[in-house]
Amino acid sequence: MKKFIILACSLIFSTANAQWFWQNPLPQGNPLTTICFTDENTGWTVGTNGTILKTTNGGTSWETQNSGSDEYLLSCFFINSNTGWAVGSNGIVIKTTNGGVNWFPQSSGTSNSLYSVYFTDSNNGWVVGGETIDSSAIILSTTDGGINWTSQLNESGYSLHSVYFSDSNNGWASGLGGYILNTTNAGGNWEILRTYSEEVLSSIYFIDSNIGWAVGYNLSSYTGVIIKTTNGGINWENQTSGSNRSLNSVYFTDLNTGWASGSGGIQKTTDGGTTWQIQLSLPGSGLLSISFFDSNIGWTAGISGTLLKTTNGGADWESLTSENNHRLNSVSFSDFNNGWAVGYGYNLENGIIFNTTDGGINWSNQISGEDHWLFSVDFIDQDNGWIVGTDISDISALILHTTNGGVNWERQAEGLFTWLRSVYFIDENTGWAVGESGTIIKTTDGGTNWESQSGGTSLDLYSVYFTDANTGFAVGESGKIIKTTNGGTNWESQVTGTTNHLFSVYFADTNIGYAVGNFGTILKTTNGGTNWESQVSGTTNHLSSVKFTNTNMGYAVGNSGTILKTTDGGTNWESQVTGITPWLLSVYFVDDNTGWTVGDGGTIIKTTNGGVTFVEGEEILETPTDFILYQNYPNPFNPSTRISWQSPVSSHQTLKVYDVLGNEVATLVDEYKAAGSYEVAFDAGNLPSGIYFYQLQVGSISKTLKMILLK
């Protein structure tokens, strides 16, 4: 018997979603600035590019919520499971009254950054902020749940980063310059209790109206700072933090038990701060927020989407995200399914090799070895590939080779003492690698033997590409481009017209090529490198990698999540809005639509439609020319996912979901639609885990894809 469930699809017509989606880390990899829970199961975390995640099972799984903004969200606060606020850059204040299903903006009346928000009930709340550059501090308050915000403080000389109230009258704020302010009348008056120009106090927390702590760091040494008061902030005493790194957040569950998190990890006290002990050492982890439900259950969040949880007071911390404590420098795919991404851990010791055999749905870690920094990977088919980098134990060149898709890696060319930055093979025998101080090496036997070539330069070379066995190019620092027409026997320098470093080179054919680099530099040649002309990229961000699928369509990626696309050979470059902030270091496409880019924080993101931007639930004005049903995202999912498609014809359309037995479990669309591109949300909250199929019927055309629900 069929089960018919009609699901209402939420349509938000003002929010554009670029079709790049996270594959690692999951649930996502943008920095998370604050984490807040209302009970042991229900919580939210917010971060850059308007990121909001929600969990209803203590952090086991997270669901992305639509903030309606791409601002940097710096703080969130919930008074119950339904009502909460988030604040951030450019004076943004957003509120939800249904647990985050919908967020709507409130007018703060300021364009300054708002760093912290706190409410004592559904009506009375405060936000603090300011600008570090011009050192202006602001405090805003509301008595009607945020409908109206009024200024309680606007002073120059410092900015405020944290606010906390112990009851409806007594509150404190801390920030730049070691400032601590106090009010005893709900903000009617604010009194400066403390200043210290060499400190930033990032977080403040009180157990009652007398006892509280503030944490931060010293501006000169960046060592952790912890101070405590027992008289409401009139006097503060320094406590020994035990951390030589900055502290970002503090939380106490009683007079004795508290935690502080920061760039070095997590530390705990059980005696009110007299002594602090390191519980988790994660140098460079950037843990920006910590929160506890009780003395045992707590969470912390930070850069690269880090989410950790403890159920025993911090004795053990469990990661709630996939691997993110590393940098991925290069990605290569042999086909739609088989791909590799390489890099190194942030502890700067271990080489990282990720491999997928299903287009990136799952990534497994292949063994590289200790003391390896891996910079470039190139596969000519699903079996044969090479990786180059350096062995930091002796600063020697590192070349790894596999003939079985990475199951085993064999080291080649030992005894060469240099850094190798890029590798490229034209077949299973012939390849080149380039690197530090103009190093160029070549092999004609698959890497068994490598011979040095002279490129006529001592500048570092960052990328190499060959169009055939004879013609190749290498690019590097100070705008250097060199070319060979005899397989590398001779190399000649080319005039580029720039002194900016060039990090990547790619040729669409023997004549048309591109190089990208610092400050948004894009160079193009149409005559095999005889002349290079600058193109307008529209960005000053550094560009790390470039890839073309044909002579017209290409992509370039760089820092701050930059992704550029051209469809006219670079005459125009369009920035794609991805909602992603990590530095992207490498891009690879297997056709016009399907590609991946990787970078900092273990970032791996994928597109299956060339990064085309959809307006959720609404057609794009440009009529598509092909019928396409896209893979849902995320997949696997819990409990919701998104399904998008495009149709070149106007017709009655149905989109239905079936279980593995063929039972229809949901009808998402059943109506006439004009030709266009569409996206709907599918909520499977009432369905069990398992494999499901979604089928799109447009007139006489039908297509079915598989998705996986994991609860």
CATH at 470:
2.130.10.10
Does pLDDT of 144 surpass 60? yes
Helix (H) or strand (E) holding 683: strand 676-683
Q: In 195-257, where do the E strands start and end?
A: 199-206, 212-218, 224-229, 237-239, 247-252
Same domain, yes or no: 409 and 457: yes
CB 51 within 8 A of CB 32: yes
In this predicted model, what pLDDT tens digit does every residue of 241-254 receive, in sequence order? 777 788 999 999 99
Residue 462: inside a domain: yes
Residue 237 domain flag: no
| Between 299 and 156, the higher pLDDT residue | 299
Alpha-carbon dihedral angle through residues 464, 467, 472, 474, given to the nearest 10 degrees: -30
pLDDT(410) > 60: yes
> Sorting pLDDT into bands at 50, 70 and 90, what band is 349?
low
Say whether both 638 and 606 belong to one domain: no
Could you count the other beta carbons within 10 Å of the beta carbon of residue 448?
A: 12
Residue 438 has pLDDT above 70, yes or no: yes
Q: List residues bridging with 200 in a β-sheet.
A: 176, 217
Q: CA-CA distance, 543 to 501, in Å (whole number)?
A: 10
Confidence of residue 285 (pLDDT cuts 50, 70, 90): low
Average pLDDT over residues 544-557: 96
**Residue 621: pLDDT over 50:** no
pLDDT of residue 625: 63
- Supply the mean pLDDT for the chain: 90
**Calpha distance 466→368 (Å, rounded):** 27
The contacts of residue 577 (CB under 8 Å, 6+ apart) are: 16, 18, 70, 613
pLDDT of residue 15 exceeding 70, the answer is no
The verdict on 393 and 506 lying in the same domain is yes
State how far Cα 669 lies from the chain centre.
32
Are 594 and 633 members of one domain? no
Cis peptide leading into residue 624 (ω within 30°): no
- Taking the C-alpha atoms of residue 379 and residue 333, their distance in angstroms, rounded to an integer, is 7
Query: Quick check: 7 pLDDT over 70?
Result: no
- pTM of structure: 0.78
What is the arithmetic mean of pLDDT over 616-645?
Answer: 69
Whether 178 is covered by a domain: the verdict is: no
- CA–CA gap between residue 14 and residue 266 (Å, rounded): 40
The answer to whether position 540 is within a domain reads: yes
Q: Give a yes or no: residue 119 inside a domain.
A: no
Shared-domain flag, residues 449 and 598: yes
> How large a percentage of the chain has pLDDT more than 90?
70
- Annotate 262-308 with DSSP letters as a single string: ETTEEEEESSTTSS-EEEEE-TT--EEEEEESSSS-EEEEEGGG-EE
Across 88-97, 138-147, 368-377, least confident range: 368-377
Q: pLDDT at residue 6 above 60? A: no
What is the total count of domains within the chain?
2
- Interacting residues of 151 by C-beta distance below 8 A, sequence separation 6+: 109, 138, 139, 140
What's the pLDDT band for 613 if we cut at 50, 70, 90? Answer: low
Type of residue at 59 = G
User: Domain check: are 462 and 503 in the same one?
Assistant: yes
Q: Which residues contact 617 (CB under 8 A, 6 or more apart)?
A: 9, 10, 11, 12, 13, 678, 679, 680
User: Does residue 501 contact residue 489 with C-beta atoms inside 8 Å?
Assistant: no
Domain boundary among 557, 583, 610: 610
For residue 624, the model assigns a pLDDT of 59
Please list the alpha-helical segments (H only) found in 122-221. none
Percent of the chain surpassing pLDDT 70? 94
The DSSP element (H or E) to which 242 belongs, if any, is none
**185 is a domain residue:** no
Q: What is the pLDDT of residue 1?
A: 28
What tens digit of pLDDT does each residue of 647-700 get? 888 788 899 999 877 788 999 998 878 778 888 888 888 888 888 889 998 877
Q: Are residues 661 and 596 in the same domain?
A: no
426 found inside a domain = yes
Distance CA 506, CA 504 (A): 7
| 630 plus 667 within the same structural domain | yes
Q: Are residues 694 and 644 in the same domain?
A: yes
Exposed / middle / buried, residue 341 (Cβ in 10 Å: 0-12, 13-18, 19+): buried
| Six-digit token string for 259 | 């935690």
What local confidence, expressed as pLDDT, does residue 615 receive?
A: 38
Residues 576 and 685 placed together within one structural domain of the fold: no
What is the predicted pLDDT for the residue at 700?
Answer: 74
DSSP codes of every residue in 341-363: EEEEETTS-BEEEEEESSTTSS-
| Each residue's pLDDT tens digit, 169-189 | 999 999 999 999 999 999 999
> Quick one: which of 362, 454, 281, 286 has its CA closest to 708?
362
Q: How many CB atoms sit inside 10 A of residue 703's CB? A: 13
601/695 same-domain check:
no
pLDDT above 90 for 366: no
What pLDDT was estimated at residue 645?
86
Last residue of a domain, one of 587, 610, 633: 610
Domain assignment present for residue 326? The answer is no
Q: Which of 239-253, 423-437, 616-630 has the lowest average pLDDT?
A: 616-630
CA distance 609 to 612: 6
> In this structure, what CATH number is given to the domain that contains residue 633?
2.60.40.3080
Look at 324-338, 394-408, 610-624 and tell me which has the smallest mean pLDDT: 610-624
What's the order of all strands across the beta sheet hosting 664-673? Answer: 664-673, 651-659, 690-698, 701-709
User: Do residues 432 and 525 both lie within one domain?
Assistant: yes
User: What distance in Å separates the CA atoms of residue 201 and residue 172, rounded to the nearest whole number?
Assistant: 12
The residue range of the domain holding 689 is 619-709
Task: Give the pLDDT of residue 134.
Answer: 56
Round to whole Å and give the CA distance between 560 and 542.
9
* Mean pLDDT, residues 258-270 taken together: 94
Among 610, 636, 659, the domain boundary falls at: 610
